[in-house]
Structure 1
């Protein structure tokens, strides 16, 4: 996403609105490790950014790790990712690279935070509304309920649900639904990862208990032999 000269002032002013943890002296250098980028996004969407995941970095590998984390945990929830080449350009301080990324983030945040017109009371209470006419969140809640009942995950390639999510008469997925799907799928993936990690810990604890029981049995056997 290229940045026109007349757009630079707006990007810099947008960044200046955010209370950052360290002063800005050189934008390309200060934003290279991704920490201040995380702070900018958190200022607008605090629920999707955990600043503990990002620490100041000097090496290229450490900086890229922060950007990889941003892509996986934050940007995907906003409906985009920053290409590795662009991440490397920002990390190495390539002129104009950080401005391009900040513009992309600014645009995506504006789309995410765009206020939605709530349905009228009559619409909410009407029992005759078709599925295609329902608000996005009602469609997604209904689909999520079905998926939870069957133990399946959200998949926009799933044909029965895909038909419900496409706008009538169009061949494209509603962008608001697409973002919500991506966010919910990300939550599901993270929960699955956490569950797998917990299962590994439980297995290790069970092995430790078995090992301790075996050692205790051996010790008791020795004590009984000594008493004789």
Structure 2
């Protein structure tokens, strides 16, 4: 449970859940453990026999549909993107969910500062920023890391999925451009006497094109298995 505030960890341990929490992202994605937690506070409303501790996307959606109806009934404000991020095991989503549930169920305030650079978009951007430049994801890998197969399964809309992939690609290209500005020596960028920065001829011709043309190749390959 590394990464959770100490108060939340102690709270979870005090609930004596039926299954140990080994991986927060994975263990909370199907909603079963969250149903257990909520059941401690609303035993008359949460019937665990109606929840399944499975891993299929159908099981996850079934559990979460019940939880969302309960949230609406009890006016528990849980953001939709947090729920979807948790279902699809997005970085940081399950942590945000647990922190929110802690404050709603215990009526206590968390006294801590969010980690610097903590992603609010539930992407792996924070992790990537900690890696050396040569080890960071390519555009294709970034799409693979941040667009889960389960998202394509639960929302098989080609336009929406393409928009998600496009947004991931644009964020990646933006970060690469920022990397070039911050670390010109890594990309072989030279500064001329008039102060203008130039890439070597091979890079100037290919580097920017590499990021943009991925859309027609890797994005289509990423979407084709589900969309066809």
Q: TM-score, normalised by structure 2?
A: 0.42
Q: Report which of the two has the higher share of helix.
A: 1
Give 1 or 2 for the bigger CA radius of gyration.
1
Q: TM-score, normalised by structure 1?
A: 0.42
Relative contact order, higher structure (CA 8 A, sep 6+): 1
